[in-house]
Amino acid sequence: MRTFDALLDTLAAARRGLLVRRTRILLSSLGIAIGIGSMISVVGISASAGADLDAVLNQLGTNLLTVSPGRTAFGETAVLPRDAPAMVARIGPVTDVSAIGVVEGAQVYRTERIPANRGGGIGVYATQLDLLDTISASVATGRWLNAATSTYPAVVLGADAALALGLASADPDVLIRLGDQWFAVVGILTEVPLAPEIDSAAMVGWPVAERLLGFDGHPTRIFERSLPEAVEDVRAVLPRTVDPANPSAIAVSRPSDALEAQIAARQAFTGLLLGIGAVALLVGAIGVANTMVIAVLERRSEIGLRRALGATRRKIFAQFLAEALLLAGLGGLAGAALGSLATAAYVTSRGWPVALDPLVLAGAVLAAALLGALAGAWPALRAARMAPTAALRSSG
């Protein structure tokens, strides 16, 4: 019981000592708060972004493979056979197959008044009707192509393409120009993480692309999904299946690998930012040490009087160490609160789930207190070693 009472007395004395120099204490705590807040923000934002990508991968799956033409032995771009999608569909574990084909020379315009050399970077793709199911895409507004609209001048826009054209919603009465032909905008897609090229594209039906836009009928990218456990086996046989005569000119990729690479890159970048936050925290700790050294010098008369009245060196040491702990602890709590608020605000604005581990917050406050104890140990020891007579004489 006496030990507990002594601890309370020490904390009360430390609190009174801090309140005497409020401005200086506030500035010292601010250094700790900035360091802790920046580290929590970095960890929280990185964890939330990773959680969002993990959710995307779980929703979209990692069993999607894409096939595209590579380079021939003569350095030319290979051409995928017309029947390549049908050949891929014959592979046993394959469950879904679709394809798109680039329509060469078809620029996209909002009106006929736009110069011919300003197509806005929007590509035109001939598209098979089962594309959405294969790549796990969805329609934001309007509808996807069907057996009827794929034979008529109807177009579905990717999310970025619609934004570039200034279209917020699909409407068959709204027309855009593809090459020399006018097409009705029947749908706009949401963003497609596993096929980002779709986001900046205008998609039309395969038959109408051949009839009106001069499409040659050769796919330029094939999307396929297979049973998860057979992805690598399917990947191994795709090149020879797509083009038995020239399998080395077929490129196969796994879009989910790019998302996983984003997670790895973000983790590496997080390590760098944590290092910067650690430097800020170290600077804050130096500020705490500086504050406590000055406090010892300014309060020599107090130290001498307390020693003369019977306070032991241990009590003097405990008081000044408690002041350093409170100073750093308050900074740690403020930093944890600021970091959490900054993380929540940024993550919410991006539509990510908030993934901030409470253990991280507790660990950050504990680390701040520990750093404060280390920073305040030497000034506290210096105060404890001060002789009463010397302290009273120097104060006068």
d(CA 23, CA 383): 22
- Band of residue 280 on the pLDDT scale cut at 50, 70, 90: low
The predicted pLDDT at position 155 comes to 96
Of residues 179, 176, 223, 175, the one with CA closest to residue 197: 223
Q: Are 314 and 9 in contact (CB under 8 A)?
A: no
Residues 92 and 231 in one domain: yes
The sign of the torsion formed by the CA atoms of 187, 189, 195, 196 equals positive
User: Taking residues 67-82, what's their average pLDDT?
Assistant: 80
| pLDDT at residue 5 is higher than 60 | no
* Average pLDDT value over all residues in the chain: 80
- pTM for the complete prediction? 0.62
The predicted pLDDT at position 342 comes to 86
**pLDDT per residue as tens digits for the range 296-310:** 666 666 666 666 766
In angstroms, the first-to-last Cα distance of the chain is 39
**pLDDT per residue as tens digits for the range 186-209:** 999 999 888 889 999 999 999 999
Residues 301 and 206 in one domain: no
Of residues 120, 102, 101, the one with CA closest to residue 110: 120
pLDDT greater at residue 69 or residue 35: 69
Q: Show the DSSP H helices in the chain as ranges.
A: 2-19, 22-60, 84-89, 131-135, 159-164, 206-212, 231-242, 255-298, 300-308, 313-350, 358-385, 388-395
User: Taking residues 249-265, what's their average pLDDT?
Assistant: 70
Residues 9 and 29 in one domain: yes
**pLDDT per residue as tens digits for the range 21-45:** 666 667 677 777 887 888 788 778 7
Instruction: Look at residues 232, 255, 278 and tell me which one is the last residue of a structural domain.
Output: 255
89-103, 365-379, 380-394 — most confident range: 89-103
Number of neighbouring beta carbons within 10 Å of residue 273:
16
Q: Are 323 and 17 in contact (CB under 8 A)?
A: yes
Residues 44 and 88 in one domain: no
Residues 204 and 308 in one domain: no
pLDDT greater at residue 66 or residue 126: 126
The predicted pLDDT at position 61 comes to 66
Residues 72 and 54 in one domain: no
Residues 230 and 214 in one domain: yes
pLDDT greater at residue 49 or residue 208: 208
Residues 280 and 377 in one domain: yes
The predicted pLDDT at position 295 comes to 67
What percent of the chain shows pLDDT beyond 90?
27
List of long-range contacts for 351-358, beta carbons under 8 Å, 24+ apart? 351/52, 352/48, 352/49, 352/51, 352/52, 353/48, 353/51, 353/52, 353/55, 354/44, 354/48, 355/44, 355/47, 355/48, 355/50, 355/51, 356/40, 356/43, 356/44, 356/47, 356/48, 357/47
- Which range is least confidently modeled, 8-22, 94-108, 291-305? 8-22
| pLDDT at residue 181 is higher than 80 | yes
What percent of the chain shows pLDDT beyond 70?
71
Tokens of 210: 């051949």
| pLDDT at residue 152 is higher than 90 | yes
The predicted pLDDT at position 49 comes to 75
User: Taking residues 342-364, what's their average pLDDT?
Assistant: 82
Instruction: Look at residues 220, 255, 290 and tell me which one is the last residue of a structural domain.
Output: 255
d(CA 168, CA 159): 9
Classified as helix, coil or strand, 388 is helix
- Host domain of residue 23: 2-58+260-395
| pLDDT at residue 76 is higher than 70 | yes
Residues 22 and 94 in one domain: no
The predicted pLDDT at position 359 comes to 82
- Band of residue 281 on the pLDDT scale cut at 50, 70, 90: low
CA angle 200, 202, 206 (to 5 degrees): 135
Q: Please give the tally of structural domains in the chain.
A: 2
Residues 92 and 152 in one domain: yes
User: Taking residues 77-101, what's their average pLDDT?
Assistant: 91
DSSP code at position 155: E
Residues 46 and 133 in one domain: no
- Band of residue 231 on the pLDDT scale cut at 50, 70, 90: confident
d(CA 18, CA 12): 10
Q: Are 37 and 349 in contact (CB under 8 A)?
A: no
Residues 111 and 54 in one domain: no
Instruction: Look at residues 255, 279, 294 and tell me which one is the last residue of a structural domain.
Output: 255
Pairing relation of β-strands 108-109 and 171-178? antiparallel
